[in-house]
Amino acid sequence: MKAGILTLSDKGARGERVDLSGPALSDWLRPKGVETARYEMIPDDEGRIAEKLSEWADSGELDIILTTGGTGVSPRDVTPEATMKILDKVIPGLGELMRFKSLAKTPSAAISRAVAGIRGATLIINLPGSPKGAVENLEAVWDAIPHAVAKIQGDPSDCAR
């Protein structure tokens, strides 16, 4: 599997903050056989986020795109809006499961607006901006991801095991 990791951070894009979430996700994915084929950090700008997600998904190069940052309630948190603009299908259960599992660790999980869905043959998942939160949220849904990617890409086998 090939992944793209898109970090959304105004400060990071200006060079005022080092991205720890993107590398943490890449490190977590590596032992699962997932190659980080693309990585970039851009500002919290809805248009730029939507454009980058579209470009990456439409390239046919990536199986999964993980965003990190911009899922909260501050005025500059626009990742879910940008993601929703470019999705073909929404997968609400992934966001719901991430919030559910995160609530056991922090009450602020209730204000996460992370979404997940499909564009073309690529799965896109919004994750929190903190390294710990990003990895914990991905871990919360990971068991469903390989199967989801296979189905998105046309695996005709039955879903029942």
* Residue given tokens 């994750």 in the structure block: 127
Q: What is the CATH number of domain 2-152?
A: 3.40.980.10
Predicted confidence at residue 67, as pLDDT, reads 98
| Tokens matching residue 32 | 């699962």
Neighbours of 136 (CB within 10 A): 19
Residues of the chain whose pLDDT is less than 50?
Answer: none
* Residue given tokens 């602020």 in the structure block: 108
Cross-strand pairs, 4: 38, 65
Q: Judge contact between 45 and 51, C-beta under 8 A.
A: no
Predicted confidence at residue 98, as pLDDT, reads 98
Predicted confidence at residue 158, as pLDDT, reads 80
The domains of the chain are located at: 2-152
Integer Rg of the chain from CA: 15
DSSP H/E element including 7: strand 2-8
Q: Judge contact between 93 and 33, C-beta under 8 A.
A: no
Predicted confidence at residue 160, as pLDDT, reads 67
